[in-house]
Amino acid sequence: MFVRTILNSAHRMVYPFLPIFARGLGVDIATMSLLMTGRSLLGATSPLLGPIADRRGRKFGMLAGLGIFTLGIGIVAIFPSFWALAVALGLAMIGKFMFDPAMQAYFGDRVPYHQRGTALAVTEVAWSLGFIVGVPVAGFLIDRFGWSAPFPLFTILGLIAVFVIWRVVPNEDPHHEPVSNSREGYLAVFKSTPALAGISIALWASAANELVNVIFGVWLEDSFGLKIAALAGASAVIGISELSGEGLVALTTDRLGKPRALAIGLVANSLAAALLPFIGQTQIGALIGLFLFYITFEYVMVSHIPMVTELVPSARATLLSLNVTGHALGRALGALLAAFIYQQFGFVFVALTTVLFNVAGILALRRMQK
């Protein structure tokens, strides 16, 4: 949870401060939206990177991911520029794609399925801590020292994370038998209809979420003139909502069953998205709407991961890496559409498209269950 909080804080700080980064770099929001799309498209590399944890071991996968992340963030700390940021976001994303499947497979190897929802919900608290702690700290640094100020801090924290994993995770791993090649794992996943349907759920749900992710900072600034500190506060509200979502998963998902909990989350997230433009006409209403949207999305995501870990147990890290690809392609789709829909049609149509993507996720879940 601690290590993932570092990765997720660096990942998430871009969203609320997108207008500030754009101004600091002398580019427009559309350019930043394309940059976010490019970052998400790097998810296509996840199937090449995630299976390393099946071949070389979970600890190797986690350490390699953290090393690449720290290298990427460190580039901006030394050379603060648009292209440095583009390279840094790409390397940080690749590092995250290596770390997360290795970490989730590590727990999947050790924790029984009927308790896995609770265990993985604890690690997912890192998403909310990224917004509750990481983004406000980044906002404070940006306000005082400029847009690039958080990057040296995250570089130091990345080095600490490498040391922590190196010391805490054992070298010997009796719970995992390394595979000799990745081909069998890929075949097992691609021949499984439930696995493919599970990956597509990740794609549709992430596309829905990214539409709001990319735009909410711009929307709040355009609607209410919110400045850096207020945007950081809005991020903290979202973080608290996600923490609540992770708590709900820990309490209910293993009892309800993963697919049923996931269906409840997708329906609730659709309702929250549809409500957002209407209650978001005041600042308080907008924050309440974002709270509801993110608590339901977090319930979707944290219910989805433990379910996916058991769809193809023989190729767990490979499947989880392909699941990351689903998330990444969905985020790329959402990021690509977000600025265009918002600028051309307004926030109401952003919310409507979010609902449509969630409906596609519900249909994929039904296919997986059949």
Q: Which two tokens stand for residue 354?
A: 């979010």
List, for residues 234-252, the tens digit of each pLDDT value.
777 777 887 888 788 778 8
**What CATH number is given to the structural domain containing 126?**
1.20.1250.20
Q: Is residue 176 part of a domain?
A: no
pLDDT of residue 225 exceeding 80, the answer is no
pLDDT of residue 354: 96
11-69 confidence digits (pLDDT tens): 888 877 888 888 888 888 788 878 888 887 776 676 777 677 777 788 998 999 999 99
- Identify whether 145 is part of a domain: yes
Output the pLDDT for position 213.
82
> What is the C-alpha to C-alpha distance for residues 325 and 134, in angstroms, rounded to an integer?
25
Q: Check residue 176 and give its pLDDT.
A: 64
Is 80 within the bounds of a domain?
Answer: yes
Residue 92: what pLDDT? 92
User: CA of 136: how far to CAs of 8, 128, 282, in Å?
Assistant: 13, 12, 22
The rounded distance, in Å, linking the Cα atoms of 41 and 57 is 26
Question: Under a CB-based contact definition with an 8 Å cutoff, are residues 361 and 204 in contact?
Answer: yes
What is the rounded distance in angstroms from the CA atom of residue 288 to the CA atom of residue 364? 29
Q: What is the pLDDT of residue 209?
A: 92
Neighbours of 180 (CB within 10 A): 8
Q: Provide mean pLDDT across the span 263-291.
A: 89
Q: Evaluate whether residue 174 is within a structural domain.
A: no
Which pLDDT does position 180 carry in this prediction?
A: 59
DSSP percent split of the chain into helix, strand, coil, nearest 5: 85, 0, 15
Residue 181 confidence class, pLDDT cut points 50, 70, 90? low
Spacing of C-alpha 70 from chain mean position: 18
What one-character DSSP code corresponds to residue 13? T
Region 5-13 average pLDDT:
91
Amino acid at 317: A
Computed on alpha carbons and rounded to an integer, the radius of gyration of the chain in Å comes to 19
Q: Is 293 inside a domain boundary? A: yes
Structural domain boundaries enclosing 326: 2-169+181-369
**Mean pLDDT across the stretch 171-183?**
68
Between the CA of residue 191 and those of 68, 194, 276, 305, 312, what are the distances in Å? 32, 9, 39, 20, 10
Name the average pLDDT for the chain: 86
The three-class DSSP label of residue 370 is coil
Predicted confidence (pLDDT) per residue in 70-124, tens digit: 999 999 999 988 999 999 989 998 898 889 888 988 888 888 888 888 888 888 8
Q: What is this structure's pTM? A: 0.74
Whether 333 is covered by a domain: the verdict is yes
**Full DSSP string of 200-227:** HHHHHHHHHHHHHHHHHHHHHHHHH---
Q: How confident is the model at residue 2 (pLDDT cuts 50, 70, 90)?
A: very high
Q: What is the pLDDT of residue 62?
A: 93
Domain count, the chain: 1
Handedness of CA 367, 309, 306, 53 (dihedral sign): negative
| Contact indicator for 361, 273 with CB cutoff of 8 Å | no
Task: Identify the pLDDT of residue 182.
Answer: 64
pLDDT tens digit sequence for 305-332 = 888 888 888 778 788 888 888 888 898 8
Residue 175's pLDDT band (cuts 50, 70, 90): low
Return the pLDDT at 113.
83
Residue 310 lies in a domain: yes
Q: Is residue 175 situated within a structural domain?
A: no
**Residue 224's pLDDT band (cuts 50, 70, 90):** confident
